[in-house]
Amino acid sequence: MIDNGLLVQMLLGALLGLSVYLPLAAGQLSLATPAFYAVGGTLAALLSTRWRALGATAGGGFPVPSLLLELLLGGLLAGVLALLVGRLVLRLRGIYLAIATIALVEIVRVAILNLPFTGGAIGIFSIPQPFSEASGYLLMALLLLALAGGLCHRLEAMPMGRAMAAIRDDELAAACMGIDTTRVKLTAFVLSAMVAGSSGALAAHFLNTWNARQGSFDVSVTTLAFVILGGSRTWLGPVLGGLLLTALPELLRPVGDVRLVLFGLVILLGPVLAPQGLITPALLERLGGAGREPASREDHP
Amino acid sequence: MSAAATASSAATAPLLEVQELSCRFGGLLALDRVSVAVQPGEIFGLIGPNGAGKTTLFNLISGLTPPSGGTVLWRGEAITALPPHRRNRLGLARTFQNLRLFDGLSVLENLLVALQPRSRNSSLDGLLGSARFHRAERLRRETAWQLLDELGLTALAEREAGTLAYGDRRRLEMARALATGPSLLLLDEPAAGLNPAEKEQLCALIQQLRQRHQLTVLIIEHHVPLLMRLCDRMAVLDFGRRIALGSPEQIRHDPRVIEAYLGSGPQGAGEATA
């Protein structure tokens, strides 16, 4: 029932979940993930179809090192965009930040739709394939997820991650304790964009075609649902949420367009039934204390 | 009056000085050209009726609210334009009247957050888990445990801050402020909600901490007898104006203070002289 193709989509879902989680871990509700995903995907689609030096073959093949380069560039471009935009929008708090980031998603979508070189409504198609089988993409997606997940895991035990958690609890108090809140929020925002940008670059090749619809407001809502269902207190939450909610509609194919209703329901019912999401620090502690550093006097480096 | 007070205490340079500080919220003038200088090492009390502008003054000093006019000087340099985190790193830490802990973090983590801006190791060190990072982290934990010891919170180290009892939360907030390594500690009603025995303990604790950490303390407190005993000097605010400044003894007998607290009238004036 679950083939490799679906697994790749699930892993991409998990990556986008992490992208929404990162700013949220610093208390910032950003819905900009689809914008950065679209930017990464469009860059990869353009580079691989237009730039011969990357080595796309006539038969539609593509060298793997070039793909890796695109993942890097997609992440970097998204990161730079986040750095520029973040300085501006991260001054906003709460729902106002969410609205501003929705605007960013729309601006990027309309830009991709109307720019002379992005293929308009049809988009860019026949994107060359680095792998002939879905298993290659699966490996690549796993690699990306391991990188992003590893980063989030390290963050939780690092000053940066602790500062993010402090800002989530009380931004003013954090500032009064010497934490440069602007810098911490901006870092989380840029990391989030880089994860989304790289994921977009991989998705463009995997999907074979890329257009403006890939980064729409719908994706903002679905990716937010990943985090709400999975839980935003540890990075494992959005990963699980992304995997589950990407698989569900595929497994419930007959439901079709009701999918969005389903996501809406999750966003509505999630906080009621499981206020902290499926994966909470308490759950991890019961499962063997993987989530939190023990507060022991002895330190084991 | 203001100039005379400053001149009389100008033997040493003030650690913190606010000059002609004003703050306007729409039509309300919360602070009206208030000037105060705090000398290094002293415990300076700030009293006044509700709404007198005490907390507003704290917010202006710590950088949470921009002033409408006036200057904040730190060791003689203007810091009026600095954001709160920069002021904290200069050595200015505060607690909050209505307790603002990081409720989702453990007691220990609350202190670790406050300790980390002091140690300058890069994020790259942390990502790679370098030896330098582990050294800094170990040092932070040692300091955090010391502070927990000092404030009697050791047994609660692993508890989530949001689950603590009220008195423990008050002490944790002081520990967190101390963790930033301040030279000036701003305490906003630290005795609020404490019973008389706890108030006594707090009084002793503040004096103890001042000695051990070489602190200057600026304290807002409604419990005037406690403050009279604790403070070297005091200032009284009323409707955003500084109406008195001096030693507790001088404040006790200042007719304007008595008027602000008890209202004007022959009885009030009579008690002041009695």
Residue range A105-149, pLDDT digits in tens: 999 999 999 998 888 888 898 899 989 889 999 999 999 999 999
Q: Residue A165: inside a domain, yes or no?
A: yes
Does residue A152 lie within any of the structural domains? yes
Q: Is residue A300 part of a domain?
A: no
**Contact assessment for residue A72 and residue A194, using Cβ atoms and an 8 Å cutoff:** no
- Taking CB atoms and an 8 Å limit, are A154 and B127 in contact across chains? yes
Going from N- to C-terminal start, the domains of chain B cover: 2-91+182-273, 103-181
- Could you read off the pLDDT of A152-197 as tens digits, one per residue? 999 988 899 999 999 999 999 999 999 999 999 999 999 999 999 9
Rg over alpha carbons for chain A, rounded to the nearest Å, is 19
Does ipTM surpass 0.95 in this model?
no
Segments forming the whole domain that contains residue A112 = 4-216
The total number of structural domains in chain A stands at 1
Classify residue A167: in a domain, yes or no: yes
Q: Does residue A138 form part of some domain?
A: yes
Strand order through the sheet with B69-74? B28-38, B16-25, B69-74, B77-78
CA B71 to chain centre: 18
User: CB–CB of B118 and A178 under 8 A?
Assistant: yes
How high is the mean pLDDT of chain B? 88
Asked if the structure places residue A199 within a domain, the reply is yes
Which residue in B55, B115, B116, B148 has the most chain A C-beta atoms within 10 A of its own C-beta, making it the best mutation to test that interface?
B116
Instruction: Determine, yes or no, domain membership for A149.
Output: yes
- Taking the CA of residue B91 and the nearest CA in chain A, the distance in Å comes to 9
Asked whether the beta carbons of residue A177 and residue B158 sit closer than 8 angstroms, the reply is: no
pTM above the 0.95 mark?
no
The residues near B44 (Cβ < 8 Å, ≥ 6 apart) are B36, B38, B216, B217, B218, B219, B231, B232, B233, B234, B235
Euclidean distance between CA atoms A215 and A35, whole angstroms:
6
- CB contacts < 8 A (A, B): 101
Site from A147, A171, A177 to mutate, B interface, most B CB atoms within 10 angstroms:
A177
Q: Give the gap in angstroms from C-alpha A175 to the nearest C-alpha of chain B.
A: 5
Chain B residues closer than 8 Å to A180 by CB? 85, 117
Fold of B2-91+182-273: Rossmann fold (3.40.50)
Judged by CB atoms closer than 8 Å, whether chains meet at B117 and A177 is answered as yes
B96-122: average pLDDT: 89
- Cβ neighbors of B168 (< 8 A, separation 6 or more) are B153, B156
Rounded to a whole number of angstroms, the distance between the first and last alpha carbons of chain B is 25
Judge whether A278 lies within some domain.
no
pLDDT, mean of residues A17-34:
95
The contact set of A with B (CB < 8 A) is: 151, 154, 158-160, 162-163, 165-166, 168-170, 172-181, 187, 233, 295, 297, 299, 301
User: What is the distance in angstroms between the Cα of A152 and the nearest Cα belonging to chain B?
Assistant: 10
